Copies of this chain bind each other. A is one copy, B any other.
Amino acid sequence: MSSVSESEVMQLHAEICAGLADPKRIMILYELVPGPRNVNDIAAALGAPQPQISRHLKVLRERGMVIAERHGATVAYTVADARIIQALDLLRQVLADKLRNQAALAATAASASE
């Protein structure tokens, strides 16, 4: 019966979004798309120190956005929900269009000043 209040939902919604609000975390999530990866592999792939990646993974874990699974000495991380990647892709498209429009505007301005 623990119904969640409207503002609590908004808070949780914002926390999930905040999980995406860091370039490294976005890169980590995309690294996990092809399949599970362990921490050192991610760190190596992104050229970032392992503790930094571990901390970012903790942020994502706390928000239920990735799943950690121990396999012996290593820990495999997975994206918890494919819709997280879908949302990232949507926002990436928004960004791509914005950059495209800016480039077009710049070209227009350039040709206007020729």
Which positions in A face B, CB cutoff 8 Å?
2, 4, 7, 9-18, 20-27, 64-65, 80-81, 83-84, 86-88, 90-95, 97-99, 103, 106
Contact = CB atoms under 8 A, between A and B. Distances in A.
A12 B95 contact: yes
Nearest to A107: B1
A55 to B, nearest CB: 16
Contact of A91 (B4, B87, B92, B99): B87
Instruction: For the complex of A and B, list the 5 residue pairs with the smallest distance between their C-beta atoms, beginning with the closest.
Output: A18-B21, A10-B23, A17-B20, A87-B87, A87-B90
Interface of A is mostly: helix
A36 to B, nearest CB: 19
A71 B16 CA distance: 35
Contacts of A15: 21
A26 B22 contact: no
A9 B96 CA distance: 9
Given A2-B103, A90-B87, A23 B27 contact: no
Given A14-B25, A17-B18, A17-B26, 19 more contacts: A9-B95, A10-B23, A12-B95, A13-B23, A13-B92, A14-B20, A14-B21, A14-B26, A15-B21, A17-B21, A80-B94, A81-B94, A81-B97, A84-B90, A84-B91, A84-B94, A86-B90, A87-B87, A87-B94
